[in-house]
Amino acid sequence: MANIEKLGVVGAGQMGNGIAHVAAQSGIKVLLQDVAASALDKAMATIAKNMDRQVQKGTLTQADRDAAIARIARTTDAKAFGECDLVIEAATENEEVKKKIFAALCPVLRKDALLATNTSSIPITRLAAATDRPGRFVGMHFFNPVPMMKLVEVIRGLATEEATVQAVAQLAERMGKTVAFAADYPAFIVNRILVPMINEAVFALQEGVGDVASIDAGMKLGCNHPMGPLELADFVGLDVCLAVMEVMHRGLGDSKYRPAPLLRTYVEAGWLGRKSGKGFYDHGTTPPTPTR
């Protein structure tokens, strides 16, 4: 089984900086890469802010915080991953983008290095086939926000070797996560169940069954969910929800996974939720107000 002591992370966005955070806090050296130096600066500021909050709460000492920050190196050059034991791709949920990353990444990795993707829905077998190491390729799906969410889905592709699965599962546990092993079906376990619920809530909104506030209140108070489905969609990102539904619709061929037209309309308008400032809620107000 591979001993993972140096981890590479591709993409310094919300997921990438969260993975770097929990890995560094667990004693692992991290190399965080992004094409934009500004994205790396923003990621380190986010990590520092989140760790400072942990120090204030007493869940992390100042010394451990400083040591964790010191374990994270930054680069804009993918060639720097040559010494990593495992590289996790945490780029945007777009299959072609991910394949281009793997094409650039594979030639610089050690032959024995493992490669993982944080995809939330794209088939692992298909992504693995675009690399030079399908046996050492695996899905390692973290949840947002990574420092708070306890689950990691580990997804085995058709060619993934058992040693690869066990190595990344062991790493996830070292990061303080609980592992759920998922089969390589579109959207895996959590999003296979969660995102169609969000999509159905958008259909209900589109058809006038209820407004945003009523739909979210119904699920929070009627089903004891901590967050309503439309509120959750804004948190996840409407573009991500749409991408997952499209993967499921194509991959499973069932009309029940057809994305709600209203969801597509919001994405086309650039109303992506919290990250764009507006989605099913306007996040420029306190508290956020429904947009429909």
Active-site residue numbers? Answer: 120, 141, 153, 191
**Is 275 in contact with 238 (CB distance < 8 Å)?**
no
Residue 118 phi, psi dihedral angles, 5° rounding: -95, 20
**Count of all residues that appear for the chain in the document:** 292
